[in-house]
Structure 1
Amino acid sequence: MVTTRSETARAPYGSWPSPIDGALVAARDGRPEFLDAVGDEVWWTEPRPEEGGRRALMRLRADRSAPAESTLPAPWNVRNRVIEYGGTPWAGAPRAEGGPLVVFTHFGDQRLYAFAPDDPGTAPWPLTPVSGVGGGLRWCDPVLRPELGVVTCVLEEFTGEGQTDLRRLPVSVPLDGSAAGDRSLVVELTDATHRFVTGPRFSRDGRQAVWLAWDHPSMPWDGTLVRLASVTEDGAFTDVRTVAGGADESVVQAEWAADGSLLLATDRTGWWNVHRLDPDNGELVNLCPREEEFGGGLWKIGQRWFAPLPSGLIAVVHGLGETKLGILDPETGELVDGTGPWTEWAPALAVCDTRVAGIAAGTHSTYEIVELDTGTGHTGVIGSVHRDPVDPVFYPEPQIRTFTGPGGRDIHAHVYPPHHPDVTAPDGELPPYVVWAHGGPNSRAPLVLDLEIAYFTSRGIGVAEVNYGGSTGYGREYRNRLREQWGVVDVDDCAAVALALAEEGAADRARLAIRGGSAGGWTSAASLTSPATEGVYACATILYPILDLEGWAEGETHDFESQYLESLVGPLAETRDRYRERSPANHAARTSAPFLLMAGLDDVICPPVQCDRFLEAVDGHAAAHAYIAFEGEGHGFRRADTITRAVEAELALYVRTFGLVRDDVPPLELRK
């Protein structure tokens, strides 16, 4: 099909040509993470899908005049596996001579290394040893303390072969490398009192340290504790105590202000707001009371939603659904937002005197490094600059919608109708739509440009991202809707959005699909096997999913989420029948719609044995299906060739199921 911009062709939905192919989606997959300041420089990690999915460590010099540079060549991969989702993998500090000193974790062996980037003649040197026990030794959320010659961080240490045979605690590691061959030289700053901890943050005088802790079965968005310690001159922790938080209060960040006061992002009001804490009497003052979020789900250790400035002001990421970067005056409560087109700010902020850098994206731009000068009010892009790989007229135009679900409850969603600058559908035809269920499940779908969504919408297939009950970003009450209701509320909310789109004439009722990865894969599979949603969807794409709740609860996942189901489904000992009734693996006979299942063979979070169990139960029943398992991939796909094949296979499923005519993807063979 050849058209010019001056004419508009007509073609059935799903058959439209598009310049956005699977290789382009793969090349733009992932985003910058773990941004921080090293003196007046800004550093972050960046994905390299074309290099096997490694993470590069980027450096932007203080004058911002030259593009950021990668500081470590392949195969260095700046990433760790603490709680499997990882945590802050690097830290840096300026030095009087010789340039900065930087420490980082290398994914290949999970060791902590140090290097001097301005001394190319010196290779990174290991700081920590290797352990052959279970998953070994892992390190994250480091803080350099060069005056003591150490780096403090979180240690995750396996004590056996099982995924839950481990301990976590704050430790101190010598910078001279002496502990690289001697585990005993790693100083444990506290006992392993709590199952999970974040890295300590030190007051400006170095005499106090604060961190977060929580224990099973709580997740960090349920309840956390704020731990405080006095710090001796040689770096030891004394008088360790809990000063805030609790089983029903989620504190997701604790930080020291320039004046020495302690700041927390806590949801004690039902919303994550920034508070000032007096640790001596426990008094908390809400610095900006609002029914919106100044925090989020702590999925990776070291995430930062606020950052104090030397002036006493506080940079904050905040919003309801979408997020903004603002500057908060803690004395008056006044909050002034920066300007710009960005609709999502990641929980990663860096302060360089009066400037605040962050990671932000918009509906027409992918994630970039953006800096706000609080002195001038100017905001600009300084790194990972978005460049349109195709004409932006092919990008979808999102609609922010609130649908009505069962019982009249609100359901938040982003709807992306099919969109093409040169093609429209024949009169009277309704488009196919795919409901996207996000992972987590206590997470959310951000309002940003996603080329994978554009891949489908530019071909004439609509997408609806559903922030179902349980999603973060809308307060604790909305988040708590999913408590003991996983597999019910998420399934019902996704179906309600799909059916509403059909009822209002925006979508073809006969061509609805659902897809998701991880917890979204669970929702997709549960939607095919739940009697409540029988017949809603014509097909489903299920990515690296949870499929058997009993198996997952009894040792088939990692430690971080090993008791997550206690709140999502119920106490296993008391509600085992509920686990069995909701699990797709136990109801394969109900699956009649075609589905595509994809997983990584190295996934330890949602192991492929769950897929094997589900497929074994499906075989012999009516559901036509395909299964693609990827060597060398874990939880979520990172390699360019994997991502390309996955997105093309998903489109091929819709081609076959919806009766679309295309020749730009290999056909998908389904079996029964």
Structure 2
Amino acid sequence: MGDQVQTLAYGSWASPIDAALAAAHDGHAEFVGFVGEDAWWTEPRPTEGGRRTLVRRRADGTEESLLPAPWNVRSRVIEYGGQPWAGTVRDGEPLVVFVNFTDQRLYRYDTEGEPRPLTPVSPVGGGLRWVDPQLRPDRDEVWCVLEEFTGDGPTDVRRVLVAVPLDGSAAQDQDAVRELTDARHRFVTGPRVSPDGRRAAWLAWDHPRMPWDGTELVVADVSEDGVFREPRTVAGGPEESIAQADWAADGTLLYSSDRTGWWNLYGVGQDGGERALCARDEEFGGPLWKIGCRWFAPLENGRIAVVHGRGATALGILDPETSEVVDTAGPWTEFSPTLAVHGERVVGIGASPRSAYEVVELDVGTGHAHVIGAAHDDPVDPSYYPEPQIRTFHGPAGREIHAHVYPPHHPDQVAPGDELPPYVVWAHGGPTSRAPLVLDLAIAYFTSRGIGVAEVNYGGSTGHGRAYRNRLREQWGVVDVEDCAAVALALADEGTADRGRLAIRGGSAGGWTTAASLATTDVYACGTILYPILDLTAWGSGETHDFESQYLETLVGPLAEVPGRYVERSPSEHAERISAPFLLLQGLDDVICPPTQCERFLARMEGRAVPHAYIAFEGEGHGFRRADTMVRVLESELSLYAQAFGLNPPGIPNLELAK
């Protein structure tokens, strides 16, 4: 930091947080687990083609990255994937199975030699996929979810629970895979087996519901030869979402249900008696975007490690006898839905507004928590990080809107006193999701240059109960657009932001909200639209993948009953309403929001003389993972704002805007 504060216009501040730095720190550790005494997890490698690897931290504190490139530990089941690996110790050595992204086969890894395939290559393109493995070494099997494509269409698919032999006999022969269930349900999670091995529990749901709308908790008796007897539903339903289930050491069935309007924990004892373990107006669960998410993990001593909170998440230990929760002391204000336990040890992944996600271990006996992996290391002086504010705004009819506001911030540069800063509203994806309050160098990239950011957890977002989520039912493209606009205008009205220099950006569902905002409001001077939905009718009638193929039935309404609503709300049908400059960014391998959505939209924009740019990326899918892609995205986005707002950021390549 210099000795002297310079006065320079917003958007022209020089920052050490460049696009390459932000890209190198994109993504975070996921899917923690114990293999014996050692903690394992997956970690991103943005500079290695965006792959994910397995990391092992030994009990002595040494760490090693396993599986060199091009191995990529990531499942494509329901396209968003989920728990891609499992491990145990056999004969004193780790035995690990994992899914490899490229071929989606399940592999066995014994930490020596090359991994060996356990499942066959699919005769239908990408048509055999596996997720949420549970090792059953007593049976020499791994139990998991199989997603099998039965035809060429994205919804020609079945999902069942299966047992894959660990001896490799199914590597060339799918008939050696033993099916544990039939395909009566469209979607299932991996089985959790009771301590005595006699029962298995899993979640199931069916179209048109998403897992946060309504799921069933299914239990089956398991015979001595590993066969599932007649499954029965013990909880859940069309309007009750079960987010996770597991077994306590004493055989109690634990699960997280939102039947009260909040995901809370319940236990069903051996006698069939059920009780709430901690009734609170906060979440002990969340949206199941990835199969195998864990918001709770039972300990051997009867207590339960929990990721819980309202609008944010803490790591705590719940005593089910007293309903008391003791939260972990430390700097972390947000924990992701992954947990592993071993004896008195709990491992999770936590972050804060000053630190990115890191692997955290809690000693339940002492209450001490410390970082054991992916440790946050400030790549620049943290005085360049933004200082966020947790805000609640009010929208139409006085409804509350939750947001995080990141004002422009630089340790030794300020703007002239009479200048108001430009602001970009960030609309998160999902839309049934939320923006966590954690250090994100992509946000710091803008705030350290003098551009404010406001992340809006609009109506429909998670973390604030089911009623807040349900605000978006049949209102997508209305409530999300109104809430983002209300926050942007409130910031302008209170003198925080420049009314003439507001922008909006978002990816996936946030790309939809961005495009819909440009088409239906005059709030924004420009917008950045990443891998969006733009044409509801096509997306809702076969253009996307199976998992979300009927999502719009609740977000917009039944297509068969309200087809006009799909047309009326689609930005691609109303290109004539868009007059603000925009940047459109798309992965060419995206099967969730395919490039055809962008192409049709751009065809409608032809001849409109609206400045815009379209950049399509080879080898990128839904959500960008490669460092070079992310660099181009950030620099292009900043150039758009520079042109729309009249800024002068130093050293940024100029984005050519076509008309």
Same fold (TM over 0.5): yes
Among candidates 216, 220, 223, match of residue 211 of structure 2: 220
CA distance in 1: counterparts of 2:270 and 2:338, whole angstroms: 26
In structure 2, the residue matched to 1:522 is 512
Which letter does structure 2 place at the counterpart of 1:229?
A
In structure 2, the residue matched to 1:376 is 366
CA contact (8 A) 1:243 1:279 kept: no
Which letter does structure 2 place at the counterpart of 1:316?
V
Counting only pairs closer than 5 Å after superposition, residues 231-250 of structure 1 correspond to structure 2 as 231-250=222-241
In structure 2, the residue matched to 1:51 is 48
CA contact (8 A) 2:148 2:159 kept: yes
In structure 2, the residue matched to 1:574 is 561
SS in 2 for 1:237: coil
Give, in angstroms, the shift of residue 410 of structure 1: 0.2
Counting only pairs closer than 5 Å after superposition, residues 103-502 of structure 1 correspond to structure 2 as 103-117=97-111, 120=112, 122-278=113-269, 281=272, 283-502=273-492
SS in 2 for 1:456: helix
In structure 2, the residue matched to 1:74 is 69
Task: Tell me which stretches of 4 or more aligned residues in structure 1 moved more than 6 Å.
Answer: none
Instruction: List per-residue Cα deviations over 1:588-641 (Å, max 9, x = no partner).
Output: 000000000000000000000000000000111142110000001000100110
Counting only pairs closer than 5 Å after superposition, residues 596-615 of structure 1 correspond to structure 2 as 596-615=583-602
2:575 pairs with 1:588: yes
CA contact (8 A) 2:345 2:362 kept: yes
2:16 pairs with 1:19: yes
Which letter does structure 2 place at the counterpart of 1:91?
A
SS in 1 for 2:341: strand
Instruction: List per-residue Cα deviations over 1:114-169 (Å, max 9, x = no partner).
Output: 0111xx2x321110011122431000000000110000000000000011000001
Which letter does structure 2 place at the counterpart of 1:74?
A
Instruction: List per-residue Cα deviations over 1:496-535 (Å, max 9, x = no partner).
Output: 00000000000000000000000000000000111xx2x2
CA distance in 2: counterparts of 1:6 and 1:409, whole angstroms: 46
CA distance in 1: counterparts of 2:375 and 2:83, whole angstroms: 22
Which letter does structure 1 place at the counterpart of 2:295?
W
CA contact (8 A) 2:143 2:161 kept: yes
Which letter does structure 1 place at the counterpart of 2:94?
P
Among candidates 39, 43, 55, match of residue 42 of structure 1: 39
In structure 1, the residue matched to 2:537 is 550
SS in 1 for 2:380: coil
Which letter does structure 1 place at the counterpart of 2:293?
Q
Give, in angstroms, the shift of residue 280 of structure 1: 6.6
Counting only pairs closer than 5 Å after superposition, residues 638-649 of structure 1 correspond to structure 2 as 638-649=625-636
CA contact (8 A) 2:210 2:551 kept: yes
Which letter does structure 1 place at the counterpart of 2:618?
E
Instruction: List runs of 5+ in structure 1 lacking aligned partners.
Output: none
CA distance in 2: counterparts of 1:301 and 1:413, whole angstroms: 28
Give, in angstroms, the shift of residue 665 of structure 1: 1.1
Give, in angstroms, the shift of residue 239 of structure 1: 2.4
Instruction: List per-residue Cα deviations over 1:149-201 (Å, max 9, x = no partner).
Output: 00000000000001100000100000000001111110110110100000000
CA distance in 2: counterparts of 1:662 and 1:309, whole angstroms: 52
Instruction: List per-residue Cα deviations over 1:35-81 (Å, max 9, x = no partner).
Output: 11112211110000100001010101123x22x21111111110010
Give, in angstroms, the shift of residue 278 of structure 1: 4.4
TM-score by length of 2: 0.99
Instruction: List runs of 5+ in structure 2 lacking aligned partners.
Output: none
Instruction: List per-residue Cα deviations over 1:216-268 (Å, max 9, x = no partner).
Output: 00000000000101111121101211111000000010000011100001101
2:641 pairs with 1:662: no
CA distance in 2: counterparts of 1:479 and 1:57, whole angstroms: 34
Which letter does structure 2 place at the counterpart of 1:213?
A
CA distance in 2: counterparts of 1:206 and 1:74, whole angstroms: 37
In structure 1, the residue matched to 2:6 is 9
Identity among equivalent positions (%) equals 70
CA distance in 2: counterparts of 1:284 and 1:62, whole angstroms: 38
Which letter does structure 1 place at the counterpart of 2:108?
A
2:76 pairs with 1:85: no
Which letter does structure 2 place at the counterpart of 1:197?
V
SS in 1 for 2:231: strand
Instruction: List per-residue Cα deviations over 1:348-391 (Å, max 9, x = no partner).
Output: 00102101110011110000000111111111101101000000
CA contact (8 A) 1:145 1:151 kept: yes
SS in 1 for 2:197: coil
CA contact (8 A) 1:134 1:163 kept: no
- Between the two proteins, the alignment pairs up a number of residues equal to 659
Give, in angstroms, the shift of residue 210 of structure 1: 0.2
2:90 pairs with 1:95: yes
TM-score by length of 1: 0.97
In structure 2, the residue matched to 1:625 is 612
SS in 2 for 1:613: helix
Which letter does structure 2 place at the counterpart of 1:284?
E
SS in 2 for 1:347: coil
Shift of the 279–583 alpha-carbon distance from structure 1 to 2, 3 Å rule, reads farther
CA distance in 2: counterparts of 1:396 and 1:543, whole angstroms: 23
CA distance in 1: counterparts of 2:307 and 2:36, whole angstroms: 22
CA distance in 2: counterparts of 1:480 and 1:438, whole angstroms: 17
CA distance in 1: counterparts of 2:362 and 2:328, whole angstroms: 7
In structure 1, the residue matched to 2:25 is 28
Give, in angstroms, the shift of residue 279 of structure 1: 7.6
